[in-house]
Amino acid sequence: MRHLLDTQHLSRADALEILDVAEDMADTQRREVKKLPTLRGKTVVNLFFEDSTRTRISFEAAAKRLSADVINFSAKGSSVSKGESLQDTAQTLQAMGADAVVIRHGASGAPRTLATSGWISAGVVNAGDGTHEHPTQALLDAFTIRKRLFGDASRGRDLDGIRVTIVGDVLHSRVARSNVWLLHTLGAHVTLVAPPTLVPQDVSGWPVEVDYDLDHAISTGPNALMMLRIQLERMNAAYFPTEREYSRRYGLDARRLEALPTDSIVLHPGPMNRGLEISAEAADSPRSTVLEQVTNGVSVRMAVLYLLLAGERPDTEK
């Protein structure tokens, strides 16, 4: 693996390899000493042009647990405000010895530009680009679904026949796009639920079913319900009903939680708008995997960095 730019072009074999290496990494994270020596001498740069809590810290934790050095760059407070270009910023960080660049950017396609322009030789990982993709979020979501549904029998398993319903602001969601492609590749059946104004125009080319009625979608008994954050910061008011109307029609509340099959799970990538797309009862219920997703994110990102920088399956016995 040279770069991880999206899940649309990730093969089933590569996706399963990442998930299985993440299982090995998760085993190491249950030990008293969590650190592995495997990326000693490597440098990972977190290049963040948009805000982040989970993804940036998770990549930092993942790199440090593998003994890599980490440089954190935030566009806020940097020379980006003086007009420095992506090329010059990236080349400056490469000149300080970056082996991998983890990039979050508001422009869809920025990670691909970095990976293919020839500006830098480091491996590139997409940590979220515009409304395009967020591949490590989808991988950690798939890992979480697999783990909750199959437990210790997860290794090597795909999601064939598993029904996942993704609810909310699909239009602006890079998380939804990455999940649609990855879940489809792994054999899951994906249903999108959203108001018509928050469904992308090109959805007919996606491997999904679309339902505009959340209560109907819940009545079909999904194994996993993935609630999306409403991205008010990317939104034109014309797209969106009032918050109260949205919550009434598309929010996950205690009544809808009760209507789900007893063994189905609830995911949310965070950050959550409690009371808008998800109620406190749903967010904090035993079916919610929100914090497991965060924990699993470190193992998945360890796996990605390992496969990118070491290129082979780690020896986690050391």
Say which residue the tokens 């639920």 belong to.
193
Name the amino acid, one letter, at 109.
Answer: G
Under the binding rule (CB under 6 A), the answer on residue 241 touching ligand CP is no
List the interface residues with ligand CP, window 47-66 (CB under 6 A).
Answer: 52-55
For the CB of residue 128, give the shortest distance to ligand CP in the complex, in Å: 6
Letters for 99-138 (x = contact with ligand CP by CB under 6 A, - = none) are: -----------------------------x-----x--x-
Under the binding rule (CB under 6 A), the answer on residue 271 touching ligand CP is yes
* Residue 134 annotated as binding site: yes
For 108, residues 6+ apart whose C-beta sits below 8 A from its C-beta are 129, 130, 131, 132, 174
* Residue 64 annotated as binding site: no
* Residue 56 annotated as binding site: no
For the CB of residue 290, give the shortest distance to ligand CP in the complex, in Å: 10
Nearer to ligand CP, 156 or 271 (CB): 271
Binding residues for ligand CP, rule CB under 6 A, total 10
* Residue 174 annotated as binding site: yes
Here the tokens at position 88 are 């010059």
Stretch that binds ligand CP, among 38-46, 142-150, 205-213, 264-272 (CB under 6 A): 264-272
* Residue 271 annotated as binding site: yes
Nearer to ligand CP, 54 or 157 (CB): 54
Say which residue the tokens 């602001």 belong to.
169
Under the binding rule (CB under 6 A), the answer on residue 34 touching ligand CP is no
Residues making up the annotated binding site for L-aspartate are 82, 174, 229
- Sites of contact with ligand CP (CB under 6 A): 52-55, 128, 134, 137, 269-271
